[in-house]
Amino acid sequence: MMLVVWAVLAVLAIIYVVPFVVYGIASAFGGVELPQEVSPRRFLLGILLTKFGTAVAFVIVFWLTSAVWADRWLAYGAIWFVMFAASEIGEAVSGRTSAKEAVLGILSEAIYAPAAAFAAHAILTG
């Protein structure tokens, strides 16, 4: 069970940090800013809590279905990527985020979904 905790922490670190790098690079070139309606602390805490829930689900599903996914971690990450990307597109279509934010989100997810799947695989299957 301790391996599950370590896997959750590793996945959380990956899916929390990667978007900051991607959005940080984009903000250096302009056009991406923090939301003005909420403090930066609350914004970052909200992201952390959301990503924590995602990390728990990501790892627990992988762990419970490891008989299927243990050697197919890249396919597992790809399935999660498709789900994340569809969500980003839905957010942009609904107007809750901009197209630029959706593209940056999809780029982030293209990096962190396979990285998180590899981390979960490496930790849980040794």
Three-class SS of 35-67:
CCCCCHHHHHHHHHHHHHHHHHHHHHHHHHCHH
Q: How confident is the model at residue 126 (pLDDT cuts 50, 70, 90)?
A: confident
Q: At what angle do helices 73-94 and 40-64 cross, to 10 degrees?
A: 140
DSSP character at residue 29 = T
Comparing 19-33, 77-91, 107-121, which segment has the lowest mean pLDDT?
A: 19-33
Looking at residue 103, its pLDDT comes to: 95
Comparing 21-25, 32-36, 115-119, which segment has the lowest mean pLDDT?
A: 32-36
Q: What's the CA gap between 126 and 3, in Å, rounded?
A: 9
Q: In terms of Cα–Cα distance, which of 86, 90, 75, 85 is closest to 109?
A: 85
Higher pLDDT, 92 or 30: 92
Q: What's the CA gap between 22 and 27, in Å, rounded?
A: 9
Comparing 27-36, 50-59, 70-79, 106-115, which segment has the lowest mean pLDDT?
A: 27-36
Element (H, E) at 17: helix 2-28
Q: What angle do CA 19, 25, 28 make, to 5 degrees?
A: 135
